[in-house]
Amino acid sequence: MSVVNRRLAVLLLFSTLGLFGCGGGERPIAQSAAADEDSKPSDGGTLIRRLQGDVSTLNPLLANSLIDRHVSHYLFTPMVNLDVNLLPAPGLANSWEISPDGKTYTFHLERRPSMTARPSAPAMWFGR
């Protein structure tokens, strides 16, 4: 048998094994009711987000990279968001008022708590 015929026979053998080895014996696994429950959104739980790099700061004023801004977005909720037309939309504040001279802004915050802590550790205020 020549070298070319031998290589052709080996190639034909591996391609045949590949076709039959990967073919049609797979059946989709039926999803259970528990899997359907997991796919529905619910309050609470844990958010795990993989980042492409290291976070250099948790201070939103010093956030230089896109990764720092992503983390700041998850940690800090703004008082006012911007909608798709770049107009102010409620964030933590349900409504706000601006004084006639434009120097005083009064924000009316949500009544529901926006911070939760473990039951054994009370939420603490770190301001001065």
Residues above pLDDT 70, as percent of the chain: 63
Using alpha carbons, select from 78, 73, 79 the residue that is nearest to residue 47: 73
Q: Which of 24-28, 58-62, 64-68, 81-85 bottoms out in mean pLDDT, i.e. has the lowest? A: 24-28
Count of Cβ atoms closer than 10 Å to residue 21 Cβ: 9
Q: Which of 32-41, 82-91, 98-107 bottoms out in mean pLDDT, i.e. has the lowest? A: 32-41
Domain that holds residue 98: 78-112
Residue 23 lies in a domain: no
pTM for the model stands at 0.40
| The length of the chain, given as a count of residues | 128
Report which of residues 26 and 91 the model is more confident about: 91
Report the domain count for the chain.
2
Residue 65 to residue 114: CA distance in whole angstroms: 26
- 88 with 107, same domain: the answer is yes
Using alpha carbons, select from 55, 52, 49 the residue that is nearest to residue 68: 55
Residue 29 lies in a domain: no
